[in-house]
Amino acid sequence: MAYRDFQHFLQALESAGELKKISEPVSPYLEITEITDRVVKKAGPALLFENVVGPSHRLGTADPLSAVMNHPSIHPSARPTDSRKYDFPVAINTMATRKRMSMALSCDDFEEHAARIAALLKPEIPSGPVAALKKLPWLLGEMKNVPPKTVSSGKCQEIVWQGDEIDLYKLPVLTCWPEDGGPFVTLPLVFTNDPNTGKRNVGMYRIQIHDKNTCGMHWQMHKTGMRQMEDAGKKGKNLEVCVVLGGDPAYTFSAISPLPPGIDEMLFAGFLRKENVELVKAKTVDIMVPADAEMVIEGYVDPSERRLEGPFGDHTGYYSLAEDFPVLHVTAITMRPKAVYPATIVGQPPMEDGWMGKAVERIFLPMINLTVPEIVDMNLPVEATFHNMAFVSIKKKYPGHAYKVMNAIWGLGGLAFTKFVFIFDEDCNVQDIGECLFRIGANCDPSRDTLQSKGPVDQLDHASVAEGFGGKMGFDCTHKWPGENGFRRHYPKLITMAEDVVKRVDEMWGRLEL
């Protein structure tokens, strides 16, 4: 079942016992992060902070935030230095377990979507006309409600701030970590249109609040948003932008998904939720946005303008350094009545983004198999922040096969950023890190079974030799074949128990009371 909006999702979480409401006055400056970090580390519930008070970051700095001390809305129970009370509750940690991530995608387990994609990508050839007709209703049902549709109005535009009404400091934007450069919008869906083709792109890029009507747009060098802004600059034009907050959580997942070029994120969201995404035209820019969003920040980016953005406590577990990035000028903020502000935090794993990344890994494995069909399974460990390491099992068919897969992975979209790739035989459970470490130690000789390469890495990787460019290494942890890569010795067998003994012990196991 698709969610009507983000608040419908929150209601579903509450009904399932997955949401904790907090009435205690809590500040968006560091306090929400500290509470959420403790909860996410123990796989605790989603949180709804109903009484958000205080400035979004430290007072006394050079920006206009210091003016909140004179704000007319003074909460009587607030701390003396926390004089602002926000009109919007903050929802966070909503997708931080497998169950909640699956609920966000309107299913019992997100592997269901992987099976749906696999069935579409590798359809079985019908045995005859009758079988083809039987399958047709399923295919039509999968695709019927996928395309987004335009509507004339939406909840997200029932309240409109323009001109002097625009004030980003009225939103409970979090300052997550002590050395952050300011408050950051951490769960934004950034809508842009390609200046050459008009095609929509939806990505997730952090947004730093600079002042009441400008923000930093963290478009990294490898991202589609940066390419579109550069193309707009070549035409001498600004790039229009909408930052969407909330809506069906399927939109959020679609924004972080490694979709093939040309696949619209809102089309994919319709596939996930099995219901069309309804889009409405923004008030001040020519961009279509989800009608059920909680809030929309509209504006434009001047391709020639840069401003210092950061530092930011990032998903790497370290602060990403301050750099010059594009600036978003806000032309309107629209919202629904009684809107909820959705947020997340990143930092030392595990964090909420761990389950978001795991869902991406599982759901998109069938697409990876189209290009690299020998891959049996893949694990991008959350402990390595996903893009740094990959454990991959393959159906090995020939000497050197592991090296072929390493190079294929380094040529696959976001997987190109993977620094360490470990290749195992198909009988290795790559989801079990302990088993992977056993196979690495047992089957890999560093002088023979490694491959070094260079290429693009995450721009936030502070260890790389240059920004956005660095080294990569692959490890062949498979059993070696005779003569493979100079191997001349007899390769031993993995220790396993006889199948008949396993069966007999299985039958008596209940009687043993062990």
Q: Quick check: is 359 in a domain? A: no
Going from the C-alpha of 22 to that of each of 127, 398, 476, the distances in angstroms are 58, 58, 50
CB-based contact 355:106 (threshold 8 Å):
no
- The CA distance from 388 to 464, in Å, is 11
Q: Quick check: is 352 in a domain? A: no
Residue 88 sits in the same domain as residue 228: yes
Amino acid occupying residue 406: M
- What is the predicted pLDDT for the residue at 413? 82
Residue 339 CB-density burial (10 A; 0-12 exposed, 13-18 middle, 19+ buried): buried
Residue 315 sits in the same domain as residue 464: no
- What is the predicted pLDDT for the residue at 385? 79
Residue 435 sits in the same domain as residue 289: no
Residue 454: closest CA among 439, 475, 467, 472: 472
- What is the predicted pLDDT for the residue at 137? 55
Task: Spell out the per-residue pLDDT of the chain, length 514, in tens.
Answer: 799 999 999 999 999 999 999 999 999 999 999 999 999 999 999 999 999 998 877 654 434 334 333 433 333 333 435 568 999 999 999 999 999 999 999 999 999 999 998 888 865 555 556 554 554 454 555 666 789 999 999 999 999 999 999 999 999 999 999 999 999 999 999 999 999 999 999 999 999 999 999 999 999 888 888 999 999 999 999 999 999 999 999 999 999 998 888 889 999 999 999 999 999 999 999 999 999 999 999 999 999 999 999 999 999 889 999 999 999 999 999 999 999 999 999 999 999 999 999 999 999 999 999 899 999 999 999 888 778 999 999 999 999 999 999 999 999 888 899 999 999 999 999 999 999 999 999 999 999 999 999 988 888 888 888 888 999 999 999 999 888 888 888 888 899 999 999 999 999 999 998 8
Q: Quick check: is 322 in a domain? A: yes
- What is the predicted pLDDT for the residue at 142? 60
> What is the set of active-site residues?
314
Q: Quick check: is 494 in a domain? A: no
CATH code for the domain of 331: 2.30.110.10
| Predicted structure pTM score | 0.87
Tally of domains within the chain: 2
- In the block, tokens 């709804």 appear at 48
Residue 202 sits in the same domain as residue 282: yes
Q: Which domain holds residue 154?
A: 6-342
CB-based contact 11:17 (threshold 8 Å):
no
- What is the predicted pLDDT for the residue at 126? 52
- What is the predicted pLDDT for the residue at 459? 81
- What is the predicted pLDDT for the residue at 51? 96
Residue 278 sits in the same domain as residue 396: no
- What is the predicted pLDDT for the residue at 244? 98
Residue 386 sits in the same domain as residue 335: no
Which residues are CB-contacts of 253 (< 8 A; sequence separation ≥ 6)?
A: 104, 105, 269, 272, 356, 359, 360
Going from the C-alpha of 349 to that of each of 157, 356, 417, the distances in angstroms are 36, 12, 18
Which residues are CB-contacts of 237 (< 8 A; sequence separation ≥ 6)?
A: 195, 303
Residue 313 sits in the same domain as residue 432: no
CATH code for the domain of 412: 3.40.1670.10
Q: Quick check: is 496 in a domain? A: no
Residue 302 sits in the same domain as residue 391: no
| Eight-state DSSP code of residue 74 | B
**How many of the other CB atoms lie within 10 Å of CB of 86?**
22
Q: Quick check: is 365 in a domain? A: no
Residue 330 CB-density burial (10 A; 0-12 exposed, 13-18 middle, 19+ buried): buried
Residue 311: closest CA among 444, 148, 176, 478: 176
Residue 399 sits in the same domain as residue 474: yes
Residue 397 sits in the same domain as residue 435: yes
Q: Quick check: is 127 in a domain? A: yes
- What is the predicted pLDDT for the residue at 68? 36
Q: Quick check: is 505 in a domain? A: no
- What is the predicted pLDDT for the residue at 127? 54
- What is the predicted pLDDT for the residue at 22? 97
- The CA distance from 217 to 230, in Å, is 14
Residue 290 sits in the same domain as residue 377: no
- The CA distance from 514 to 510, in Å, is 8
Residue 465 sits in the same domain as residue 426: yes
**How many of the other CB atoms lie within 10 Å of CB of 401?**
18
